[in-house]
Amino acid sequence: MDFYRQAINNAVEKLNTEKRKMEDRDTYGKAFLQIFNLWRQNEVLKAFVMSKRFAKVAAQLLGVEGVRLYHDQALYKEPGGGRTPWHQDQYYWPLDTDKTVTMWMPLVNITKDMGIMNFVSRTHKLGYMVPKAISDESEDYLITSSRTTTTRLLAHRRQMLATPLFTLAGPYTTRQLTNLTE
């Protein structure tokens, strides 16, 4: 993993255009730096993103023969940044199918106090409920839209990734990986 982490760090450092101070960003801007489609950068990253092993896991979870990649995305939680509010990812995927899945892979060992992802159990069965970008509004919308959902949010637990789950992540609270912003 060290090898790919370094390759991904290098690409993110090169491609990052976020220069705003944390206090000048909105909730979404505070949540993470994000760089799309690293597979286009070089053959090393292409081999990582297009790995047959990852594709097989996705295909098995979906119960299909093969998968296509919609995009890849590097998300970097910055020191002093904010949490990622509750949301569903469907807003970002204009696809007319529920045969979609996200593969989320931490590049560092993570502990509970490092802004880990959280998922609400069984919400992949509820469909697309939150037509909102990741924001304070997506969280408010979700919490006010259904008592069942609110109950589940309050009792949220991490679980296997499947879409359309409701997801949230805390702020990143350690000083690791600070080179991108200092």
Ligand X SMILES: O=C(O)CCC(=O)C(=O)O
For residue 31, state whether it binds ligand X (rule: CB under 6 A): yes
For residue 163, state whether it binds ligand X (rule: CB under 6 A): no
Whichever of 45 and 147 has its CB closer to ligand X, that residue is 45
For residue 104, state whether it binds ligand X (rule: CB under 6 A): yes
Three-state SS letters, 60-108 = HHHCCCCCCCCCCEEEECCCCCCCEEEECHHHHCCCCCCCCCCCCCCCC
For residue 138, state whether it binds ligand X (rule: CB under 6 A): no
For residue 32, state whether it binds ligand X (rule: CB under 6 A): yes
Q: Taking phi first (over 0 means left), then psi (-120 to 50 degrees means alpha), and beta for anything else, what does residue 155 get?
A: alpha
Closest separation in Å from C-beta 104 to ligand X: 5
Residues of this chain that bind ligand X (CB under 6 A): 31-32, 75, 77, 84, 89, 102, 104, 117, 167, 169
